[in-house]
Structure 1
Amino acid sequence: MNAYSNRDLIILSRYADTDTAAFEQEVRSIHEILYRVEGTEQFCQAHEVIDLNHYRILEKSYLVRKIISDPIKPFVFLFNKN
């Protein structure tokens, strides 16, 4: 498996006679999809920062990344857009 596939997955299948090679390929595909979806860029696109100290909302992903890389100050909130 890849280095980023260090996680536990529960995969349910309807078919009891699943081929081992096909099953391993399916697990690799799922890990690749999760790796792309769980990245920092997608996290920053799905969140915004509400800064009550300066009365502003930061939505641009590079600004969100900058805020979360530093220790978060009081009255600065990370908000999920979903």
Structure 2
Amino acid sequence: MSDETPQAGDLLVRIGAIMFLVGAVATLATVMPLFLGTDPLPSVFYAVCMLMGVGFLVAATGVIRSAVAQRRQAEAASSPSPSSASSAT
């Protein structure tokens, strides 16, 4: 286990990666009958293949959300606080 605290988009990245992997496996499963010369799989498998793209979008959303949260933290840390600004004058 990691000692790091979870960031804003970490869960979305994990969920997106799992969805992507499920979609990739389904894609491989739907392509294999073409090479093996067997009957094609039911159309449900083709629908599950769409999880590959959806998972990529979910993971990308998590990465963007994490980047925005880190940018806000950096801006908050670098900007002078109102109390220190008033005491300096």
Q: Specify the TM-score bucket, using the shorter chain as the normaliser.
A: 0.3 to 0.5
TM-score by length of 1: 0.38
Question: Relative contact order: is structure 1 or structure 2 higher (C-alpha 8 Å, sep ≥ 6)?
Answer: 2
Q: Which TM-score applies when normalising by structure 2? A: 0.35
Would you tell me which structure has more helix in proportion to its own residues?
A: 2
Larger Rg: 2
